[in-house]
Structure 1
Amino acid sequence: MATTTARRTLRWRQLAAVGAAASATESRAGHRLGARLAALPRLVRAVRRGDYAGADMVKLSMMLGAVGYVVSPVDLMPEALLAFAGMADDALVIAWLAVTLVRVTDDFLDWEANRDAVPGEVIR
């Protein structure tokens, strides 16, 4: 029981690490974590409508799956059996998720800010 609680706590800490990595990352446009998270529902709607081509539902589904994998008690490489090596798969998923979250939301927020610009107009 204590081991299960410890693993669950560790997984939530790992997910918090994704948020910390995403908020600590310097964005070229200076987007904060709150703005990125608030943009996710708009991003999903824009992708589903076909308005935004910078991401697709496969990538968004993979991001959701990564969150589920990190918080899930089911693991490909269990920490209980493989100790430190068992956390390596979680670390890889967390790293991919943090980088992908930053890139996808930065691109979307930039697109959103500039979508009304006149084609061919230089945006500064």
Structure 2
Amino acid sequence: MAKAARAAQAWRVYRQVSQPGSPGLAARLRTVPRMVGAVTRGQYPGMTKGKLAMLGLGVVYILSPIDIVPDFLALVGVADDFGVFLWLMASLLGESGRYLDWERRNIQGSVFPS
């Protein structure tokens, strides 16, 4: 995904998070473990295990000392990590917001799984 597209995606998610009535940043982040569990158990149809695996690879890439573009190449090496970070955060926050909506529609009146 191009840098401009990642930035645009991050901006869209920021606008979603900041809308009145929309789940906030903290609520979305607290939802991520429940969402991951629901996807791995096959309970949440809104996200595939393949997309979950891609998000996991994004986390591994950010944490890994091995990069496609080495960090010692000044700004270019750090920019690829930042691009992956933007994509990862935008994807996680967007997906967790959709999961919260799905959870509210489908599990009303019951206790949410921990």
Rg larger in 1 or in 2? 1
| Superposition pairs of residues 31-110 of structure 1, within 5 angstroms | 31-80=23-72, 82-110=73-101
What CA deviation, in whole Å up to 9, does each residue of 1:63-95 have, x standing for no partner?
122122112211111121x21111221122011
Question: Is 1:25 the counterpart of 2:14 in the alignment?
Answer: yes
Give the alignment's TM-score, normalised by structure 1: 0.65
Separation in 1, partners of 2:86, 2:36: 22
Counterpart of 1:25 in structure 2: which amino acid? Y
Structure 1 residue 49, shift from structure 2 partner: 2.6
Task: Flag structure 2 segments of 5+ consecutive residues without an equivalent.
Answer: 1-9, 109-114
State the secondary structure of the residue aligned to 1:51. Answer: coil
Counterpart of 1:108 in structure 2: which amino acid? Y
State the secondary structure of the residue aligned to 2:26. Answer: helix
Residues 49, 79 of structure 1: alpha-carbon distance in 2 compared, 3 angstrom cutoff: closer
Kept in 1, the 8 Å contact 2:32–2:92? The answer is: no
Counterpart of 1:38 in structure 2: which amino acid? R
Aligned length: 95
Separation in 2, partners of 1:48, 1:94: 23
Kept in 1, the 8 Å contact 2:32–2:96? The answer is: yes
Q: Percent identity?
A: 39
State the secondary structure of the residue aligned to 1:100. Answer: helix
What CA deviation, in whole Å up to 9, does each residue of 1:24-73 have, x standing for no partner?
92425422232222212211222223221110111112112212211221
Give the alignment's TM-score, normalised by structure 2: 0.70
